């Protein structure tokens, strides 16, 4: 039987590419060369393909989707986020879209916890001091941060990642609050307190951790007005999507002292970073590391392939269909 053709827009983990090459006529990307930012190039390379395995940040917008050849049946993204794909355009063309939920919850929650610790304990700033050879030795008042024990952690978006973070943060003695579209059942809340309104929620966030998707509906959700609702000295962490933060407002609040610190893993317009962050010592900046563990990236790739296999090899619904 002829294998269906699969276009891969990036270099994926070796075992993932090996499975793709075993089961498909796989067009592997040679290196992350950047052509996935080019609609015409994606469409050109997709000629003859039945499926596309893409990744967060790829240009799968309306222009690309309109240009895709007839034969493309499914776009399987190697991500849980789908803000890089114009879902409406895909639906109009009858192209299925799938993602990779669940498998990255622990890895992403670990990065959120890491950023909370980095921000609270000034880890980025002080590591830079040590590396610069500028540390003059221990003193009783040097580099003091804040302890997490007894502090209130507000989780915006209590999905799988948010709930995993809650479990981790309980181990640090934090009190958990959350804001979500709807209240969770008791067995998922595990004592966390639900807030139905932004103001009441933000007012109790000694630490705010953001886990909401990108897109129009959440654009610059954390704006100056909402930042003002946070307690004096609060910490903000974002491992969801950078577009959900008003960068100017966050930089202003970190500069005037209303906020103590921030930790960011995601940025609007990645890989560009809003320049104001680079000048601040009280911001920990990571390069979109959320899911970047060997185990998780393999699992994401296998999940993306499971979706492709369902549609292209077995004629079934993809298990993780977005729409
Ligand atoms: C996702 O899966 O959406 C992540 O942002 C990629 O790590």
My answer on whether 159 and 268 are in the same domain is yes
User: Do 280 and 305 share a domain, yes or no?
Assistant: no
pLDDT at residue 32 in the model: 75
Q: What is the pLDDT along the chain (323 residues), one digit of tens a residue?
A: 799 999 999 999 999 999 999 999 999 998 777 899 999 999 999 999 999 999 999 999 999 999 999 999 999 999 999 999 999 999 999 999 999 999 999 999 999 999 999 999 999 999 999 999 999 999 999 999 999 999 999 999 999 999 999 999 999 999 999 999 999 999 999 999 999 999 999 999 999 999 999 999 999 999 999 999 999 999 999 999 999 999 999 999 999 999 999 999 999 999 999 999 999 999 999 999 999 999 999 999 999 999 999 999 999 999 999 98
Asked if residue 165 and residue 278 are part of one domain, the reply reads yes
Within a domain: 322:
no
Whether residues 109 and 122 share a domain: the answer is yes
Q: What is the pLDDT of residue 1?
A: 76
Does 201 reside within a domain?
yes
Residue 58 vs residues 75, 266, 284: alpha-carbon distances, Å: 11, 15, 25
> Which whole-number Å values give the CA distances from 184 to 27, 168, 178, in the listed order?
43, 18, 10
* pLDDT value at residue 107: 98
Report yes or no on 154 lying in a domain.
Answer: yes
**Does residue 124 fall inside a structural domain?**
yes
User: 56 is written with which tokens?
Assistant: 């967060």
Both structure tokens of 138? 């221990």
Output the residue whose Cα is nearest ligand 1's atom 3: 81
- Whether 12 and 78 share a structural domain: yes
Is the distance from CB of 54 to CB of 9 less than 8 angstroms? yes
Ligand 1 nearest-atom number relative to CA 82: 3
Do 260 and 298 fall within a single domain? no
Q: Which residues are catalytic?
A: 241, 270, 288
Residue 70, in any domain of the structure? yes
The verdict on 233 and 306 lying in the same domain is no
The answer to whether residue 319 is domain-embedded is no
What is the pLDDT at residue 159? 97
Closest CA to 302 of 9, 2, 20: 20
Residue 61 sits in the same domain as residue 165:
no
Write down the pLDDT at residue 30.
81
**Which atom of ligand 1 lies closest to the CA of 266?**
5
pLDDT at residue number 206: 99
CB 162 within 8 A of CB 152: no
Instruction: Say whether both 122 and 56 belong to one domain.
Output: no
Residue 9 φ/ψ, nearest 5 degrees = -85, -15
The pLDDT, as a whole number, for residue 156 is: 98
**The pLDDT value given to residue 244:** 98
From 13, 55, 108, 307, mutation site for ligand 1 pocket: most ligand atoms within 8 A of C-beta: 108
What would you report as the CA-atom Rg of the chain, rounded to the nearest whole angstrom?
21
Q: Which residues pair with 195 in a beta bridge?
A: 179
**Residue span of the structural domain in which 59 resides:** 5-103+294-313
CATH of the domain at 55: 3.40.50.720
Decide if 237 contacts 264 (C-beta within 8 A).
yes
Same domain, 238 and 299: no
Scored b (16 or more CB within 10 A) or e, 250-289 reads bbebbeeebbbbbbbbbbbeeeebbeebeebebbbbbebb
Looking at the fold, whether 175 and 278 belong to one and the same domain comes out as yes
- Look at the chain and report how many structural domains it folds into: 2
Calculate helix-pair angle for 294-308, 14-23, nearest 10 degrees.
20
Establish whether the linkage from the previous residue to 140 is cis, with ω within 30° of 0.
no
SS3 of 189-256: the string is HCCCEEECCHHHHHHCCCEEEECCCCCHHHCCCECHHHHHHCCCCEEEEECCCHHHECHHHHHHHHHC
The strand ranges marked E within the chain are 5-8, 25-27, 51-55, 74-78, 96-98, 152-156, 175-179, 193-195, 207-210, 234-238, 259-264, 283-285
Is residue 318 in a domain?
A: no
Instruction: Indicate which atom in ligand 1 lies nearest the CA of residue 78.
Output: 2
**What was the pLDDT predicted at 323?**
82
Q: Who lines ligand 1 at CB under 6 A?
A: 56, 79-81, 104, 290-291
Evaluate whether residue 320 is within a structural domain.
Answer: no
How far from chain centre, in Å, is Cα 250?
Answer: 19
Within this chain, do residues 202 and 115 fall inside the same structural domain, yes or no?
A: yes
**Residue 134 buriedness (CB in 10 A; 0-12 / 13-18 / 19+):** exposed
**C-alpha distance from residue 126 to each of 87, 129, 143, 233 (Å):** 43, 5, 7, 19
Residue 33 has a pLDDT of 74
**Reading across the β-sheet that carries 234-238, which strands appear in turn?**
193-195, 175-179, 152-156, 207-210, 234-238, 259-264, 283-285
């Amino acid at each position: 039987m002829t294998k269906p053709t699969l276009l891969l827009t990036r270099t994926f983990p070796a075992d993932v590419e090996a499975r793709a090459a075993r089961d498909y006529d796989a067009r592997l990307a040679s290196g992350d060369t950047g052509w996935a930012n080019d609609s015409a190039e994606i469409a050109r390379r997709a000629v003859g393909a039945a499926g596309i395995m893409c990744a967060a940040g790829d240009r799968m917008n309306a222009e690309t989707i309109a240009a895709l050849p007839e034969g493309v049946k499914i776009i399987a993204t190697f991500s849980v986020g789908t803000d890089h794909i114009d879902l409406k355009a895909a639906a109009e063309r009858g192209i299925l879209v799938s993602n990779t939920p669940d498998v990255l919850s622990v890895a992403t929650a670990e990065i959120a916890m890491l950023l909370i610790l980095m921000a609270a304990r000034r880890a980025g700033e002080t590591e830079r001091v040590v590396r610069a050879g500028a540390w003059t030795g221990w003193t009783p008042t040097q580099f003091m941060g804040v302890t997490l024990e007894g502090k209130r952690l507000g989780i915006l978006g209590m999905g799988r990642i948010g709930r995993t973070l809650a479990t981790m943060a309980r181990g640090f003695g934090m009190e958990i609050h959350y804001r979500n579209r709807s209240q969770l059942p008791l067995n998922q809340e595990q004592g966390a307190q639900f807030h139905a309104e932004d103001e009441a929620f933000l007012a109790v966030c000694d630490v705010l951790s953001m886990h909401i998707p990108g897109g129009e509906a959440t654009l610059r959700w954390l704006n100056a007005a909402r930042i003002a609702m946070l307690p004096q000295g609060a910490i903000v962490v974002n491992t969801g999507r950078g577009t959900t933060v008003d960068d100017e407002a966050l930089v202003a609040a970190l500069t005037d002292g209303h906020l103590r610190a921030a930790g960011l893993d995601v940025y609007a317009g990645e890989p560009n970073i809003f320049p104001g962050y680079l000048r601040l010592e009280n911001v920990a900046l990571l390069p979109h590391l959320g899911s970047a563990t060997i185990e998780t990236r393999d699992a994401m790739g296998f999940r993306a392939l499971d979706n492709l296999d369902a549609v292209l090899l077995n004629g079934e619904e993809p298990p993780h269909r977005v729409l």
